[in-house]
A and B are shown apart, each in its own frame.
Chain A
Amino acid sequence: MPPATAHRPALFRLAPLLLLGCPLPALATAAAPTPDSGDTAWMLTASLLVLLMTLPGLALFYGGLVRSKNVLSVLMQCFAIVSLVTVLWISYGYSLAFSTQGMEAGVINFASFFGGVDRAFLAGLTRDSLTLSVPESVFVMFQLTFAAITPALIVGAFAERMKFAPLLWFTVLWLTFAYLPLAHMTWAGAGGLFWDWGVLDFAGGTVVHINAGIAGLVAALMVGRRKGWPTQMMPPHNLALTLIGASLLWVGWFGFNAGSAVAANGSAGMAMLVTQVASAAAALAWMAVEWKLHGKPSLLGVVSGAIAGLVAITPASGSCGPLGALAIGGAAGVLCFLASSRLKRRLGYDDALDVFGVHGVGGIVGALLTGVFASAALGGVGYAEGMTMATQVGRQALAVLVTCAWTGTVTAASLWLISRFTALRVDLEGETDGLDLALHDERGYNL
């Protein structure tokens, strides 16, 4: 049943939309959009699912992977980041990401990279504001959960040594100068850099995963190795927690990908299906390669594979079919395994929980293969007019390069700036005692 507001004059319902601009292409052709209760119900649910990915999903996933003396520190970081980003998001984050002020289709200007501040503190948001067919408040909340998980992903890279206050400052700077512009370029609509290039990124392969993955790599290099790495034993302290966290991530990811349709429709349904397929394929692929190379399959391996598959399918979930998902998942499982186990050792960077190996590499694999498996011949939705597989993959590659350069620069500059004021990592004694005691005066296990 249409809600009562549907009887109001069309212009009234359109007004908040005009204020927002036209963030998604369907809007451009839509006549007066009306709120849809089915879509709204799904997007309310999807927002909760994505929040569940971070709290407690990602927190437990990371919490189990560190040593017992550091378990609280990563849980704390995830929890604090979600809270901090929420406040930043409603203050100016949503505006810088989704305001369309100054955007012009095909024109590269400042507004191609950053939204305006006209929506700061959610100016203009009312109960009647709409984004497509859902209340804008729901869209704000849904996108908030994306903004929250992305900086939380990065903490895995410098886990077990980063100090808490610099982490919070880093979250502010990195969200502002890396996450918000990339979200704007990709999703704010015509006039956004990636949007105008025709880059396919349905749910955040560049915005979330490559962004966080490269930031993790740069941060791991700048913060430095943990004392004793890689010679000293630093095994995960509780892989059961990691499995619970990964499973919550898997379930939550349906909100992430299927929710990115911003509707309860066939696109959301297909996104859900391909997400499941890619995750399973990658879990099996990682397990198989590890089994072949090391003689035994491991729980951590199969779980890591599932996450790698979820990462890689994220940009493709709106454009590929089930067979494409199988291929994308399989490729991500193998390549992320090699990156996390071989590449890291060879290059000697201490990306403690493999943020780069899983999110960076998985994100890049996914972004590129999105261009391949959008092909109608391979079961995808087909290319936009004038695009071929070659040109689409080219655009995807360009977006990957811009994302890597952008986030790498912002990460390095942010950490450098913070390090002028305070040490980024705890002292040797604190690192030995564990961050739980050194930074929080708490202990994870009082057995």
Chain B
Amino acid sequence: MKMVMAIIKPFKLDDVREALSEVGVTGVTVTEVKGFGRQKGHTELYRGAEYVVDFLPKIKLEVAVTSDQVDRVVEAIQTAANSGKIGDGKIFVYELERVMRIRTGELDGDAL
């Protein structure tokens, strides 16, 4: 099993959610986050006082998938979240040791 974590642009969330449904993903966790990468922040100006805002709002997606799903999921996110401009985000994939569905106690593959 893998955990796919993606940082994407907020306005791409709906597209990504649809793309994930199409490849069979049944659950996603979404968090509003802030961060910086290669994309420069923006400036705000109040009566001549200029502030550079480094931390831009992004969306963090977390999707737990089976190992055979992972390539399709990563591809779906990459396609849907791509605007072609700097700041589109990144996708991280890491190993997932255990999963349990709280209501039934089902484990791993059954719990996904």
Contacts and interface: CB of A to CB of B under 8 A. Distances in A.
B47 A341 contact: yes
B51 interface: yes
Interface string B45-79: 11111010100000000000000000000000000
Contacts of A292: none
A354 B53 CA distance: 23
The SS class assigned to the B binding surface is strand
Interface of A: 230, 233-236, 290, 294, 296, 298, 300-301, 304, 337, 340-342, 344-345, 354, 357
A230 B49 contact: yes
Nearest to A65: B46
Contacts of A340: 47-48
Interface of B: 44-49, 51, 53
Contacts of A290: 48
Secondary structure type dominating chain A contacts: helix
Contacts of A234: 49
18 contacts: A230-B49, A233-B51, A233-B53, A234-B49, A235-B44, A235-B51, A294-B45, A294-B48, A296-B45, A298-B46, A300-B47, A337-B48, A340-B48, A341-B48, A342-B48, A344-B48, A345-B48, A354-B47
A237 to B, nearest CB: 11
A308 to B, nearest CB: 11
Contact of B49 (A304, A337, A341): A341
A234 B44 CA distance: 11
Nearest to A232: B51
The 10 closest A-B pairs by CB, nearest first: A341-B48, A233-B51, A340-B47, A341-B47, A300-B46, A294-B45, A235-B46, A236-B46, A235-B44, A300-B47
B54 to A, nearest CB: 10
A341 B48 CA distance: 4
Given A290-B48, A337-B47, 12 more contacts: A234-B49, A235-B46, A294-B45, A294-B48, A298-B45, A300-B47, A301-B47, A337-B48, A340-B48, A341-B48, A341-B49, A354-B47
A233 B46 CA distance: 10
A33 to B, nearest CB: 47
Contacts of B46: 235-236, 298, 300
Residue with the highest number of chain B CB atoms closer than 10 Å, among A235, A236, A337, A354: A235
The interface centre, meaning the residue of B45, B47, B51 with most chain A CB atoms within 10 A of its CB, is B47
Most buried by B among A233, A294, A345, A357: A233
A233 B47 CA distance: 13
Contacts of B48: 290, 294, 337, 340-342, 344-345
A214 B49 CA distance: 21
A345 B44 CA distance: 16
B48 to A, nearest CB: 2
A336 to B, nearest CB: 10
A76 B53 CA distance: 31
